Amino acid sequence: MDAQRLLNRLEIWRSLRTDSLSVALRRLPGVVARIEMEIEHARAMAGMSVDAMLIEPSSYDLAEPLMPIATAPLPAVSAPPVVSLTLAEAYRNYIDDPTRAWTANTREAYETSRRLAIAVIGEAVPIASISRAHCRDMLEVLRFLPANAGKLFPKLSPREAADRARLRGDIKVISAANANSLMSNMSSFLNWAVNEELLARNPARGLRLPDPINKRDKRSPFDRDQLHSIFNAPLYRGCVDGGRGYSKTGSQRPRNARFWVPLIALFTGARLGEICQLDTTDIRAVDGVDCIVISLRSLVGSTDKQLKTTVSDRLIPIHPVLIDCGLVHFAETKRKAGEKKLFDDIETGSTGSRPVAFSKWFTQFLRACGAQRPRTSFHSFRHNFRDELRAARIDHDIALLLGGWTTGSSRTAVHENYGSGYRVDALNEAVRRLSFEQVDVRHLA
């Protein structure tokens, strides 16, 4: 137990570099002896009592020379070349590892961590020499890294930008959650390096900043006033147009993505990415019930779909309010026009991602309609939906199924593998019980 703390790891792995059991058994004692020496050396560096024989050869070993053995000369065996990759080379190999099926967003997150690590630690540093001090230094930079540092200080390195923020004290820095996410990505890379035998152990394990905000408080549902401001904004009451004039009072009533996406989010609890990627055929009747089908499967050959988890694949019966607002008719019209995507009018933006671009627009929309508050964002609609499920006392399993939530072990329990799940009519009954009393959208019918 003391070695776990001193070496900051639970296991030590060493390759015996053979597929022969007999050779492995002969090599094992020497490898174990070196590991024992490594552990004992760590104890010695910590000032603890040690077994000197495990670190230094005993006097008996020195006094008794080995008896020479007359054998035929062995053929020379070339040792396997020692791979000495730099941090930049190893990180690139990790990002490009074909065994990792990353989504575009996940890959971009790891690219961000890679750029930060190279900028802070140095691209030419050998991966084998990455230490705890390197990782602590990176965490210290992240602790004071300004939010949007690339835009605010385009000519400064991350370390220089962090130093400036530390000295001034009035620059908004990234959240502890964001910093911890970046460190977690770095730690995942180092775990990969350990598995690839490029590094003896992961020196970033357990490094994180204390997060002052409880997980439950990171996002809040929209309150009644916010929902009123959102769905009574010019976009929903009458605006100049559905483009740049969405926030100015006018006579137009556009039924575009900007109109539909927030409504769908409120009355289904679907994630922004799930809504933005919908096909026109994903609004269809299932067993006689109009549903939104959240799935990787596409009836029109779309290849841009992604799901957060396996339980995200689900059916959501369409709430009567959405039907009254014309969602089914909207989908039918687009389908008859030969359109594949329900919301092809969402621009991809500089990132190439529709959800990211829409999220940025929605932040501007909240500001324009006076609904912007701390700890609320587009994801708050999902919290509103969860509260509605609670208020209607919807069965817990049905609630999880409608929202695509998982509770960890309960989803993987044996009983979950029995049966074919809830029938659509049972899901539809639950959805129809949701009253959404905090918001009135009858003017949209």
Distance of CA 338 to the CA centre of its chain: 35
Considering 51-60, 184-193, 411-420, the range whose residues carry the highest mean pLDDT is 184-193
Strand locations in 248-369 (E): 283-286, 289-294, 314-317
Write down which residue in 170, 188, 211 finishes a domain.
Answer: 211
- The mean pLDDT of 164-183, rounded to a whole number, is 90
Residue in this structure with the two tokens 């590094």, named with its chain if needed:
199
Domain stop point among 165, 188, 211: 211
Answer for the pair 295, 363: CB distance below 8 angstroms, yes or no. no
What confidence tens digit (pLDDT) does each residue in 235-250 have?
999 999 999 999 999 9
The pLDDT tens digits of the residues spanning 13-49 come to 888 888 888 888 998 998 888 888 888 888 877 778 8
The answer to whether residues 262 and 355 belong to one domain is yes
Minimum mean pLDDT among 86-90, 151-155, 349-353: which range? Answer: 349-353
Whose tokens are 């009035």? That residue is 170
Average pLDDT over residues 381-404: 94
Are 296 and 432 found together in one domain? yes
Model pLDDT, residue 83: 53
Q: Does 72 reside within a domain? A: no
User: Is 300 part of any domain?
Assistant: yes
183, 211, 239 — which closes off a domain? 211
Say if residue 377 is in the same domain as residue 317: yes
Secondary element (H or E) of residue 113: helix 104-121
Residues 129 and 266 in one domain: no
Is the pLDDT confidence value at 385 over 90? yes
Structurally, the chain folds into a number of domains equal to 3
Under a CB-based contact definition with an 8 Å cutoff, are residues 274 and 294 in contact?
yes
> Could you tell me how far CA 314 lies from the centroid of its own chain?
21
Q: What is the pLDDT of residues 97-140, one digit of tens each?
A: 888 777 777 888 889 999 999 999 999 999 999 999 999 999 99
CATH number at 171 reads 1.10.150.130
**In this structure, are 338 and 282 located in the same domain?**
yes
User: Does one domain contain both 270 and 372?
Assistant: yes
- Tell me the mean pLDDT in the region 280-299: 94
Residue 78 lies in a domain: no
Among positive and negative, which fits the CA dihedral 221, 294, 353, 228? negative
pLDDT at 69 over 50: no
HEC readout, 118-166: HHHHCCCCEHHHCCHHHHHHHHHHHHCCECCHHHHCCCCCHHHHHHHHH
Asked if 101 and 168 sit in the same domain, the reply is yes
Asked which of 118-127, 220-229, 344-353 is least confident by mean pLDDT, the reply is 344-353
Same domain, residue pair 237 and 207: no
Residue 188 lies in a domain: yes
CA distance 433 to 320: 10
In the structure encoding, which two tokens stand for residue 434, read together? 């949701």
Find the domain containing 53 and state its range.
2-61
The β-bridge relationship of strands 283-286 and 314-317 is: unpaired
Q: Do 277 and 391 reside in the same domain of the chain?
A: yes
Is 218 domain-assigned? no
Q: Are 243 and 207 contained in the same domain?
A: no
Q: What is the mean pLDDT of the chain?
A: 86
